[in-house]
C-alpha cells in the first residue's frame, strides 16, 4: 500500500492566503495603535507590516498574478495632498516630527493602494476585521471606565510619584481623568468619537438589510458602540452625525418624506437652544473653537501660499489667538490646520478629499454585490491575531490601558489580556463575516459624519484615524479606474516599495539613538561631566537632518548651568518661536548679570504668548530686580513693571483659567522656569 500523494499548494494559493492574513492583521491592528509618534515601536511595527504587504504585492506582480492596477480619485487626491505638504514637512518648526508624520502618511497611501488591489473578493474579510477592531476598541474603553480612570484618580489623590510626574500646575491631568470622558486607545475622547463615526455607523445599514440573527448581532454592536460614544461625551460628533443623517436622508429618500429629516433637525436644534444647560454647553464649545479659528486665520494671512510648516499652529498659534482663548496645540478644524501648515492649496486639497469620500455613491456598489465566497477563508486569515496581539502589545500597543487592568502590569501576566482580546477579535470577525455588507447610504453616512467632524475638531493627528478612514473609504466602493501592468511598469512599483522601505529604515536608524539619548536625559544625574556629555550627545544628534527640536529642548532643560546660556542662544536661533527657550535664555542672562539682555529676551517671550499671565508676572519680577541694579534705568524699568502689573490685573478677568496666575502666587524669584 502506498501513501497517496498530497498535492502541494500552488503559488497563487499561498499568495492568496498571505494576503488574507495581512489584510485582517493590518485592519484589526490599525485602530488599536493610536500613536502619532513616528518613533513609537508599535507604530513602527505596523508600518513594517504594511511594507511587507506591499512587498508581497510586488512579488505577485512580478509573477504575473496582478493583471491590472486599480485606483480611484480619492487616491489621486491623497497623493496630491501629500505632495503639497512635502514642503510643509521640510519647513516644519519641529522637522523630525513633521517629516515623521509625512513619511507615515506616505506609507498609509501605500496601504490604500494595497487595499485597492486585494480587497476585491475579500470584502467580507475586511469588514469582519474592522468589526473585530471596533468591538475590541469598545471593550478597551469600557475597561477604562471600570479600572483605568478610577485607579488613575486614586493615584493622583494619593500622590503616586509616577502619575504625579505627568501632572502640571493647572491640574490638567486630574481634570481630564474626572471630566474628559472615555478615550479608549486614543489620547482624546473626541478622537475616539471620530473613530466610532467611521467604524460603528455603517452597522446601521446592516441593521436594515440583515435578517434574523444578523440584525441581533448588528444591534448588539450598535448598542455597545453607542454606550462608548455616550462615555466620550463628544458634542461635535453628535452634531456631525445629526447633520450628516439629515443630508443622507434628503439625498436618498424621495417624495414628501424627503424633508422629514431636515425638519426634525431644525426642530431639535430649536429645542436644544431652549434648554439653558445644553445651550450653555454649545455656546462654550463654539466660543472656544472660534478663538482657535481666529488664531488660525491670522496665521494663514501671514503666509497664505507656503504656510508655516507641519505643526505650525502649535508653534505660532499662541501669538495670534484671542487673549481669552483656551490653550491648545491644534486648530480643531483639520482643513484650517492643513491651510496653516501648507497654505491655501493644502486646505483646498484636504477639503476636496473629504468631500470626495463623503459623496453619494450608486445604490449598488462592488461591496454590496459581493457574495459570501470568502467565508471559508475567515478562520485561516484571523487566527494569526493570536500571535499579533501579544507581540504588538509587547511593543506598546494598549500598554497605557492594560497596565491598569487587573494582572495587566505583572511581568508574568501582562500577556493574558492581549491574548484574550485577540480571541475576542477573532470570534467577532468570524461572526462578522456572516453579516451582509452595509448598503451605500450607510457608508456615506459614516464618511459624511466624519468629514463634518473634521470641521469642528482635529482627527488627522492620529495614524489610527488615517488607516480607519482608508479602510472605510475603500469598502464603500464607487467608481474605480484600472490600468494594465504594462502601462505601470512592475519595476516602477518595485522602486516605489523599495523607496518606502528605505525611508522606514532611515526612520528607525534615527529613532534608536534618539530614544537612547532621550532616556539618558530623563535619568537624574548629579555629576556635571555626565550632564555635559549627554547634553553634547543630544545637541549632536539633533543637528542631523531632520533636526529633532524636541530632543534639543529636553537637552536645554537638563544641561549644566555653566553651559546653558550658550546653548539657549543656539537653540533660540533654531526655534525663535519658542517661549520656553527665550525665557530660559532670560533666566541665564539674569544669572550672569546681563540685565538689559535678560529683559529683552523675556519681553520677546511675553509677545509670543501674551495671554500667559505667570510669564508676565516673571517679567514684572525681573524688571523690579533689574531696576535695583541699574540706577540709570530704574525709573523706566519700574514704570514698565507697574504697567505690566496693571496689565496682569486687567487680563486676569479675560484670559482662560489655565493662563492665570497660580494659587498661591508665584514665588519672588527673579525668573522662574517656564511650566
> What is the tens place of the pLDDT at every residue in 251-285?
989 888 899 999 999 988 888 777 877 677 678 88
Q: What is the DSSP annotation of 470-488?
A: HHHHHHH----EEEETTTS
Q: Tell me the range of 35-44, 52-61, 190-199, 365-374 where mean pLDDT is highest.
A: 190-199
The fraction of the chain above a pLDDT of 90, given in percent, is 64
pLDDT of residue 52: 94
Longest dimension (CA), the chain: 113
pLDDT of residue 4: 38
Contact in structure between 65 and 274 (CB atoms under 8 Å) = no
Poorest-confidence range of 82-91, 167-176, 511-520?
Answer: 167-176
Band (98; pLDDT cuts 50, 70, 90): very high
Contact in structure between 183 and 462 (CB atoms under 8 Å) = no
Which set of grid coordinates corresponds to residue 366?
462592488
Distance CA 61, CA 70 (A): 13
The Cβ of residue 372 has, within 10 Å, a number of other Cβ atoms equal to 10
Nearest to 43 by CA among 392, 343, 417, 301: 392
Distance CA 272, CA 278 (A): 6
Which set of grid coordinates corresponds to residue 6?
498530497
Average pLDDT of the segment spanning 90-112? 95
Nearest to 613 by CA among 667, 663, 661: 661
Domains of the chain: 23-493 (no CATH), 560-659 (1.25.40.10)
Average pLDDT of the segment spanning 588-612? 95
Q: What is the DSSP annotation of 423-470?
A: HHHHHHHHHHTTSPPPPHHHHHHHHHHHHHHTTTS--TT-HHHHHHHH
pLDDT of residue 280: 74
Distance CA 171, CA 177 (A): 10
Nearest to 195 by CA among 311, 329, 34: 34
Contact in structure between 337 and 88 (CB atoms under 8 Å) = no
Average pLDDT of the segment spanning 202-223? 95
Band (480; pLDDT cuts 50, 70, 90): confident
pLDDT of residue 449: 98
Answer yes or no: is pLDDT of 531 > 60.
yes
Beta strand 481-484 pairing with 68-71: antiparallel
Q: Write the pLDDT tens digit of every residue in 163-198.
A: 766 666 566 677 778 777 899 999 889 999 999 999
Which DSSP helix (H) or strand (E) runs through 335?
Answer: helix 334-342
**End-to-end C-alpha distance for the chain, whole angstroms:** 83
Is pLDDT larger for residue 657 or for residue 450?
Answer: 450
The Cβ of residue 608 has, within 10 Å, a number of other Cβ atoms equal to 21
Which set of grid coordinates corresponds to residue 269?
436644534
The Cβ of residue 631 has, within 10 Å, a number of other Cβ atoms equal to 8
Contact in structure between 66 and 57 (CB atoms under 8 Å) = yes
pLDDT of residue 11: 56
pLDDT of residue 1: 33
Distance CA 349, CA 341 (A): 13
pLDDT of residue 647: 96
Distance CA 561, CA 531 (A): 10
Tell me the C-alpha to C-alpha distance, in Å, between residue 46 and each of 36, 62, 428, 463, 503: 12, 25, 22, 10, 15
Distance CA 619, CA 607 (A): 11
pLDDT of residue 371: 47
Average pLDDT of the segment spanning 380-386? 95
Answer yes or no: is pLDDT of 671 > 50.
no
Contact in structure between 661 and 652 (CB atoms under 8 Å) = yes
Average pLDDT of the segment spanning 493-521? 85
Band (383; pLDDT cuts 50, 70, 90): very high
Distance CA 636, CA 623 (A): 9
Answer yes or no: is pLDDT of 673 > 50.
no
Poorest-confidence range of 22-36, 333-347, 390-404, 539-553?
Answer: 539-553
Distance CA 658, CA 645 (A): 19
The Cβ of residue 651 has, within 10 Å, a number of other Cβ atoms equal to 18
pLDDT of residue 663: 61
| pTM of the predicted model as reported, rounded to 2 decimal places | 0.92
Answer yes or no: is pLDDT of 518 > 60.
yes
Distance CA 398, CA 144 (A): 11
pLDDT of residue 488: 62
Band (310; pLDDT cuts 50, 70, 90): very high
Looking up cell 429618500 gives 253
For 254, which DSSP code?
-
Poorest-confidence range of 437-451, 538-552, 587-601?
Answer: 538-552
pLDDT of residue 68: 85
Answer yes or no: is pLDDT of 619 > 90.
yes
Which set of grid coordinates corresponds to residue 542?
539633533
Which set of grid coordinates corresponds to residue 546?
531632520
Who's near 86: CB < 8 A, 6+ residues apart?
102
Looking up cell 502649535 gives 314
Which DSSP helix (H) or strand (E) runs through 68?
Answer: strand 68-71
Band (635; pLDDT cuts 50, 70, 90): very high
Handedness of CA 565, 569, 574, 578 (dihedral sign): positive
Is pLDDT larger for residue 532 or for residue 640?
Answer: 640
Which backbone phi and psi does 68 adopt, to 5 degrees? -140, 155
Mean residue pLDDT across the chain: 88
Contact in structure between 638 and 662 (CB atoms under 8 Å) = no
Give 481's strand partners. Answer: 71
Contact in structure between 670 and 622 (CB atoms under 8 Å) = yes
Average pLDDT of the segment spanning 603-620? 96
Answer yes or no: is pLDDT of 372 > 80.
no
Q: Write the pLDDT tens digit of every residue in 423-455.
A: 999 999 999 999 999 999 999 999 999 999 999
Which DSSP helix (H) or strand (E) runs through 650?
Answer: helix 634-651
Who's near 132: CB < 8 A, 6+ residues apart?
28, 382, 385, 424, 425, 426, 428, 429, 432
Average pLDDT of the segment spanning 88-110? 94
Distance CA 503, CA 505 (A): 5
Answer yes or no: is pLDDT of 366 > 60.
no
CA 447 to chain centre: 18
Looking up cell 508599535 gives 42
Amino acid at each position: 500500500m502506498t501513501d497517496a500523494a498530497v498535492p502541494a499548494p500552488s503559488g497563487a494559493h499561498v499568495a492568496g492566503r498571505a494576503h488574507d492574513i495581512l489584510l485582517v492583521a493590518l485592519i484589526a491592528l490599525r485602530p488599536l495603535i493610536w500613536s502619532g509618534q513616528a518613533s513609537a515601536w508599535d507604530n513602527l511595527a505596523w508600518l513594517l507590516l504594511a511594507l511587507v504587504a506591499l512587498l508581497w504585492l510586488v512579488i505577485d506582480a512580478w509573477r504575473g498574478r496582478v493583471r491590472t492596477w486599480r485606483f480611484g480619485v480619492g487616491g489621486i487626491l491623497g497623493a496630491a495632498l501629500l505632495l503639497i505638504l512635502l514642503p510643509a514637512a521640510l519647513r516644519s518648526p519641529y522637522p523630525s516630527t513633521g517629516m515623521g508624520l509625512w513619511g507615515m502618511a506616505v506609507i498609509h497611501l501605500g496601504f490604500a493602494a494595497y487595499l485597492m488591489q486585494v480587497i476585491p473578493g475579500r470584502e467580507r474579510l475586511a469588514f469582519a476585521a474592522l468589526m473585530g477592531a471596533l468591538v475590541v476598541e469598545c471593550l478597551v474603553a469600557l475597561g477604562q471606565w471600570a479600572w483605568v480612570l478610577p485607579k488613575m484618580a486614586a493615584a493622583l489623590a494619593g500622590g503616586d510619584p509616577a502619575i504625579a510626574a505627568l501632572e502640571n500646575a493647572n491640574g490638567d491631568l486630574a481634570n481630564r481623568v474626572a471630566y474628559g470622558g472615555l478615550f479608549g486607545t486614543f489620547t482624546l475622547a473626541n478622537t475616539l468619537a471620530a473613530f466610532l463615526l467611521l467604524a460603528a455607523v455603517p452597522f446601521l445599514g446592516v441593521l436594515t438589510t440583515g435578517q434574523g440573527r444578523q440584525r441581533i448581532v448588528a444591534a448588539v454592536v450598535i448598542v455597545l458602540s453607542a454606550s462608548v460614544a455616550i462615555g466620550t461625551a463628544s458634542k461635535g460628533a453628535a452634531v456631525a452625525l445629526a447633520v450628516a443623517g439629515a443630508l443622507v436622508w434628503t439625498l436618498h429618500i424621495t417624495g414628501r418624506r424627503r424633508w422629514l429629516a431636515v425638519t426634525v433637525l431644525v426642530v431639535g436644534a430649536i429645542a436644544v437652544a431652549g434648554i439653558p444647560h445644553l445651550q450653555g454647553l454649545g455656546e462654550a464649545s463654539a466660543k472656544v473653537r472660534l478663538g482657535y479659528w481666529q488664531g488660525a486665520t491670522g496665521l494663514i494671512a501671514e503666509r497664505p501660499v507656503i504656510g508655516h510648516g507641519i505643526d505650525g499652529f502649535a508653534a505660532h498659534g499662541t501669538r495670534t489667538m484671542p487673549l481669552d482663548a483656551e490653550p491648545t496645540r491644534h486648530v480643531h478644524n483639520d482643513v484650517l490646520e492643513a491651510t496653516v501648515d501648507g497654505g491655501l492649496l493644502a486646505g483646498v486639497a484636504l477639503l476636496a478629499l473629504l468631500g470626495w469620500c463623503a459623496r453619494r455613491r450608486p445604490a449598488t456598489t462592488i461591496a454590496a454585490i459581493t457574495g459570501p465566497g470568502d467565508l471559508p477563508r475567515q478562520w485561516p486569515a484571523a487566527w494569526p491575531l493570536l500571535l499579533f496581539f501579544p507581540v504588538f502589545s509587547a511593543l506598546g500597543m494598549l500598554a497605557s490601558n492594560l497596565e491598569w487592568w487587573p494582572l495587566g502590569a505583572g511581568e508574568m501576566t501582562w500577556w493574558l489580556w492581549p491574548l484574550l482580546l485577540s480571541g475576542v477579535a477573532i470570534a467577532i470577525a468570524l461572526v462578522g463575516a456572516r453579516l451582509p455588507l452595509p448598503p451605500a447610504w450607510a457608508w456615506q453616512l459614516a464618511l459624511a459624519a466624519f468629514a463634518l467632524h473634521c470641521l469642528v475638531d482635529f482627527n488627522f493627528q492620529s495614524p489610527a484615524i488615517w488607516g480607519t478612514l482608508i479602510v472605510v473609504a475603500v469598502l464603500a466602493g464607487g467608481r474605480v479606474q484600472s490600468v494594465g501592468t504594462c502601462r505601470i511598469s512592475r519595476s516602477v512599483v518595485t522602486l516605489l516599495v523599495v523607496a518606502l522601505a528605505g525611508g522606514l529604515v532611515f526612520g528607525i536608524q534615527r529613532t534608536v539613538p534618539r530614544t537612547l539619548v532621550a532616556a539618558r536625559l530623563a535619568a537624574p544625574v548629579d555629576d556635571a561631566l555626565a550632564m555635559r556629555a549627554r547634553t553634547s550627545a543630544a545637541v549632536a544628534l539633533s543637528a542631523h537632518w531632520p533636526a529633532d527640536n524636541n530632543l534639543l529642548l529636553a537637552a536645554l532643560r537638563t544641561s549644566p548651568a555653566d553651559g546653558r546660556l550658550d546653548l539657549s542662544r543656539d537653540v533660540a536661533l533654531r526655534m525663535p518661536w519658542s517661549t520656553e527657550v527665550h525665557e530660559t535664555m532670560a533666566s541665564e542672562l539674569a544669572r550672569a548679570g546681563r540685565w538689559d539682555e535678560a529683559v529683552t529676551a523675556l519681553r520677546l517671550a511675553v509677545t509670543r504668548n501674551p495671554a500667559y499671565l505667570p510669564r508676565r508676572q516673571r517679567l514684572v519680577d525681573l524688571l523690579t530686580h533689574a531696576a535695583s541694579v541699574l540706577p540709570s534705568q530704574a525709573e523706566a524699568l519700574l514704570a514698565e513693571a507697574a504697567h505690566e502689573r496693571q496689565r496682569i490685573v486687567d487680563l486676569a478677568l479675560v484670559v482662560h483659567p489655565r493662563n492665570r496666575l497660580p494659587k498661591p502666587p508665584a514665588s519672588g524669584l527673579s525668573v522662574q522656569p517656564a511650566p
